[in-house]
Amino acid sequence: MARNNVRARFARVLDSQFRHLGVDAEYRPQAGQAQTIRVIARRPEELYELGEGRIHAENPVLEFRVHEVPEPRTGDQICVLSRCYRIESEPRLDQHHLVWSAESLPIQE
């Protein structure tokens, strides 16, 4: 009983976080219907050396809730603020199994 109560509290906190920090996005599975979800895009700073120059990579880690997308797959797409990204690796669950984290690459249109 106490474990369910803790999980419910975490879910409420995460819902608040996504409501305030997240943005609307469109989740496009390879098979099935597109749907609107809330996403938090974490953008780690990655600079790659190329000869004498540097390249800044735009590879956000996209976080979204399990109750919105129960089974994300590599190759599915998420469009955020008119920019589309493809999930590049198997999405990972957080320790409470409430949020997916997915590494992504921008889709060139």
> CA nearest 42: which of 59, 58, 60?
60
Residue 75, SS3 per DSSP? coil
Residue 80, SS3 per DSSP? strand
Contacts of 30 (CB under 8 A, 6+ apart): 73, 75, 76
Q: Are 59 and 107 in contact (CB under 8 A)?
A: no
Domains in the chain: how many in total? 1
pLDDT for the residue 49: 62
Two structure tokens written together for 90: 């198997």
Residue 30's domain comprises 2-106
> CA nearest 44: which of 54, 35, 56, 32?
56
CATH number of domain containing 91: 2.40.10
0.85 exceeded by the pTM?
no
pLDDT for the residue 88: 93
Is 60 exceeded by the pLDDT of residue 59? Answer: yes
Is 80 exceeded by the pLDDT of residue 81? Answer: yes
